[in-house]
Amino acid sequence: MADSAGIQQGSPAIGAAGLVPAAPGAGGTEGSGAARGSARIAVKKAQLRSSPRPKKLEKLGVYSSCKAEGACKCNGWKSQNPPPTPPQTEQQSNAVNLQEPCRSCSHTLGDHVTHLENVSEEEMNRLLGIVLDVEYLYTCIHKEEDADTKQVYFSLFKLLRKSILQMGKPMLEAQESPPFEKPSIEQGVNNFVQYKFSHLPSKERQTIMELAKMFLNQINYWQLETPSQRRQRVPNDDAAGYKVNYTRWLCYCNVPQFCDSLPRYETTQIFGRTLLRSVFTVMRKQLLEQARQEKDKLPPEKRTLILTHFPKFLSMLEEEVYSHNSPIWSQDFLAGAAGGQIPIHTVISAASVARPLYYSTSPVSVDPSTCGSVSPARKAASVLEPNPVGEKRKPSEPLSHEENKRPRVVGDIPMDLINEVMATITDPAAIPETSLLSAHSARDEAARLEERRGVIEFHVIGNSLNQKPNKRILMWLVGLQNVFSHQLPRMPKEYITRLVFDPKHKTLSLIKDGRVIGGICFRMFPSQGFTEIVFCAVTSNEQVKGYGTHLMNHLKEYHIKHEILNFLTYADEYAIGYFKKQGFSKDIKVPKSKYVGYIKDYEGATLMGCELNPSIPYTEFSVIIKKQKEIIKKLIERKQAQIRKVYPGLSCFKDGVRQIPIESIPGIRETGWKPVGKGKELKDPDQLYSTLKTILQHVKSHQNAWPFMEPVKKTEAPGYYQVIRFPMDLKTMSERLKSRYYTTRKLFMADMQRIFTNCREYNPPESEYYKCANLLEKFFYTKIKEAGLIEK
């Protein structure tokens, strides 16, 4: 069973049936025994139940105590002649002698079964069912190698034996009876479907429900790994907690699959998020792997469901399973939502950058990958802080609404295409497993994953004068004071202590294994529109693992929630690099009048500031960017595949044509090129003249216009006129304008464009001239857009 309990073998087949899991306990040595055993026991039970009554009595006598006078202690009749091998034929075995003495107590078989004299056939059959289960468990105990599993089998064996002796029903005696956690996995998954997909048209919703059903089915037949296997795989996990759940699972779900005299429950109905969390990652990986391996065997109608939708479904669900406060695990999931509606996403995520990641074509759906878990710091804050500061964003708050209402912009990539691309990149084969962090991972990725797996936690804590001190918070504050004192040796210890324990200061603390390993102490000045970061540190052996970045990202999200969008800090000279990487700069956006007199000036430190963008979900930002890059890469690949086409060369020039419109070049539009200047052509020559004159004046007055004011002098630029066939400059343009040469905006724009193109052709990119051309060109296009000569 040690092997059989292995998750690998236990995974039920998605298989050809698509939705139907394989037999319980499939795979493994004794595990497959569980499956085969289950069928074998069923056959044996049927045989035994149809055998004559004496035969049944003989079988039950073996498990019944002796009722002979004199208080015999024998608890089961033992035959003088143990059954021969091979067993006797049916005919012979039916010959039962109730007078045969017991090998152990010498009383007869009849003495052991007197209590069964008037028992109904039905009850006899029930007891015989238990007998066969006992015998099967006995074999399992002997074959089992895993100590924990063996122990559970043994307890169940004793329980079943006792119920035969007492003719009772097998009742598991445990401190807690099922369900062990609410909401159950089944309820949670149903909530998830409601939460994420309720807006979909019914056909699509049906598909999702099918996926959910399939997933739940898989869990119900999933072989959990033994506690020792798990300890080896995840050493830092809550081993005791897992063992309790494993034992419960064996007793209530697994063993009853083959020993049907025990009451059986579905894993998904009696366990909740805790058990799901302990199996999800491995399960997801194996299911996807299995789907890939079996893809050729899948019936055509299931292929898309399993190969395309299932991976996406699992990644979305994973996000909710590991998120610290996903609403799907809330007991009052539906009741809590206004008007009984499904709550909309409650996390910070209005990032416009995140938009293309919507999973469905519906504008209200939000892909979980764009808006991951709400910071546990926020969740914890409501519990730990005297004044809850970390509640979830309410559905009615503007950010989420704004997000849902965003209109689609002309030129946006069609949703269908994005969904199609998304489906390909959620395939784990396309995106490397997040746990296998590559050299190109974002710096906070490892920390983000650790947080999701519960290895680290973030809490905003502070001291309070009017609340009873909470021992845990005080311990953490002391821990923070230690981390800051060690990492900031130039700060007087007393000063650190004073600020960390000052009720006006709060600290975002990073906890690992119940211990503080870092934090950011800050003071909020809401009336001044900024927060001062006072101390920031991570304990030495945990530095450069991304914790500092993740801490800062949490702090940013915390402040967006509290509508403070500026940080100021006096950065230690060694920490300037770190702060720069977190988006801080020496260019302070907060007006001096707002902070002078409010924040402490530190000698030898540099004042740095960071302006927050409330649309950015900072803790998820790097993931979003990574996914977007992936999408864009795929879109480009698709486009390239479409336009990789060779057109015949242009022959018109041979026929004396000197110039053709760009848009007439075959294939140019397919590359995405669009003609510039799709703007308003000014019909009135005077209006055109005055518009162009204004633009030209602006351009000539620009600080980067100096190289282009006059025609290039041959003496200053040797060989210029050999390289540049059609020179142009601002003075010539002024003359042309004056002479009313520019009868259309196109002529004007073409001359101006020539100035920039010539410059870039003649000069190297690192030259001053080249840079001026780029800057002036940018300015020129801003001006003509402002004048409405081209579309904005």
Residues annotated catalytic, as ranges: 532
Residue 488 contacts ligand ACO per CB under 6 A = yes
Q: How far apart are CA 547 and CA 542, in angstroms?
A: 8
Residue 481 contacts ligand ACO per CB under 6 A = no
Q: Which of 196, 545, 559, 634 contacts ligand ACO by CB under 6 A?
A: 545
Closest CB to ligand ACO among 195 and 525?
525
**In angstroms, what is the minimal distance from the CB of 231 to ligand ACO?**
29
> Tokens 């109608």 label which residue?
301
Residue 443 contacts ligand ACO per CB under 6 A = yes
Residue count, binding to ligand ACO (CB under 6 A): 24
**In angstroms, what is the minimal distance from the CB of 5 to ligand ACO?**
39
Residue 532 contacts ligand ACO per CB under 6 A = no
DSSP assignment of 174-227 equals: -SS-S--SSS-HHHHHHHHHHHHHTTS-HHHHHHHHHHHHHHHHHHHTPPPPPH
CA 732 to chain centroid: 61
Residue 572 contacts ligand ACO per CB under 6 A = yes
- Contact 673/761 with Cβ under 8 angstroms? no
- Contact 696/737 with Cβ under 8 angstroms? yes
DSSP assignment of 670-735 equals: GGT---S--SPPP-SHHHHHHHHHHHHHHHHHSTT-GGGSSPPPTTTSTTHHHH-SS---HHHHHH
Q: Which of 242, 258, 313, 547 contacts ligand ACO by CB under 6 A?
A: 547
DSSP assignment of 508-553 equals: EEEEETTEEEEEEEEEEEGGGTEEEEEEEEE-GGGTTSSHHHHHHH
Q: Which of 263, 469, 492, 577 contacts ligand ACO by CB under 6 A?
A: 577
Q: Which stretch binds ligand ACO (CB under 6 A): 69-77, 364-372, 530-538, 586-594?
A: 530-538
Pairing of β 566-571 and β 606-611: antiparallel
Q: Which of 71, 118, 166, 574 contacts ligand ACO by CB under 6 A?
A: 574
Rg (alpha carbons) of the chain, rounded to whole number: 38
Q: How far apart are CA 331 and CA 223, in angstroms?
A: 27
Residue 549 contacts ligand ACO per CB under 6 A = yes
Q: How far apart are CA 138 and CA 161, in angstroms?
A: 11
Closest CB to ligand ACO among 76 and 462?
462
Residues 296-335 that bind ligand ACO (CB under 6 A): none
Which helix H or strand E contains 153, and what residues bound it? helix 147-165
The CA-atom distances, in angstroms, between 1 and each of 26, 203, 235 are 11, 43, 22
Kindly report whether the peptide bond that precedes residue 503 is cis, defined as omega within 30 degrees of 0.
no
Closest CB to ligand ACO among 57 and 533?
533
Handedness of CA 286, 289, 291, 294 (dihedral sign): negative
Q: Which stretch binds ligand ACO (CB under 6 A): 150-158, 184-192, 355-363, 571-579?
A: 571-579
Residue 543 contacts ligand ACO per CB under 6 A = yes
**In angstroms, what is the minimal distance from the CB of 600 to ligand ACO?**
10
Residue 586 contacts ligand ACO per CB under 6 A = no
Residue 535 contacts ligand ACO per CB under 6 A = yes
Q: Which stretch binds ligand ACO (CB under 6 A): 3-11, 121-129, 543-551, 679-687?
A: 543-551
Closest CB to ligand ACO among 389 and 575?
575
Closest CB to ligand ACO among 119 and 605?
605
Write the DSSP symbol of residue 251: I
> Tokens 């979003």 label which residue?
624
**In angstroms, what is the minimal distance from the CB of 602 to ligand ACO?**
8
Tokens of 84: 């021969």
Q: Which of 578, 618, 756, 762 contacts ligand ACO by CB under 6 A?
A: 578
Residue 533 contacts ligand ACO per CB under 6 A = yes
Handedness of CA 122, 124, 125, 131 (dihedral sign): positive
- Contact 33/257 with Cβ under 8 angstroms? no
Write the DSSP symbol of residue 609: E
Q: Which of 408, 581, 674, 731 contacts ligand ACO by CB under 6 A?
A: 581
Q: Which stretch binds ligand ACO (CB under 6 A): 234-242, 302-310, 401-409, 566-574?
A: 566-574
Closest CB to ligand ACO among 10 and 583?
583
Closest CB to ligand ACO among 33 and 548?
548
Closest CB to ligand ACO among 574 and 726?
574
For the range 394-401, what are the long-range contacts, defined as Cβ-Cβ under 8 Å and sequence gap of 24 or more?
A: 394/346, 395/337, 395/338, 395/343, 395/344, 395/346, 396/338, 399/348, 399/349, 399/350, 399/614, 400/344, 400/345, 400/346, 400/349, 400/350
Write the DSSP symbol of residue 170: -
Residue 538 contacts ligand ACO per CB under 6 A = yes
Q: Which of 60, 536, 565, 699 contacts ligand ACO by CB under 6 A?
A: 536
Q: Which of 147, 171, 544, 650 contacts ligand ACO by CB under 6 A?
A: 544
The CA-atom distances, in angstroms, between 370 and each of 355, 416, 424, 726 are 8, 18, 17, 51
Residue 512 contacts ligand ACO per CB under 6 A = no
Residue 448 contacts ligand ACO per CB under 6 A = no
Closest CB to ligand ACO among 535 and 748?
535
| CB half-sphere exposure, 209, CA atoms < 13 A | 9
Handedness of CA 417, 418, 423, 428 (dihedral sign): positive
Residue 537 contacts ligand ACO per CB under 6 A = yes
Residues 137-156 that bind ligand ACO (CB under 6 A): none
Closest CB to ligand ACO among 489 and 648?
489
Residue 492 contacts ligand ACO per CB under 6 A = no
**In angstroms, what is the minimal distance from the CB of 571 to ligand ACO?**
5
List of residues contacting ligand ACO (CB under 6 A): 443, 487-488, 533, 535-538, 543-549, 569-572, 574-575, 577-578, 581
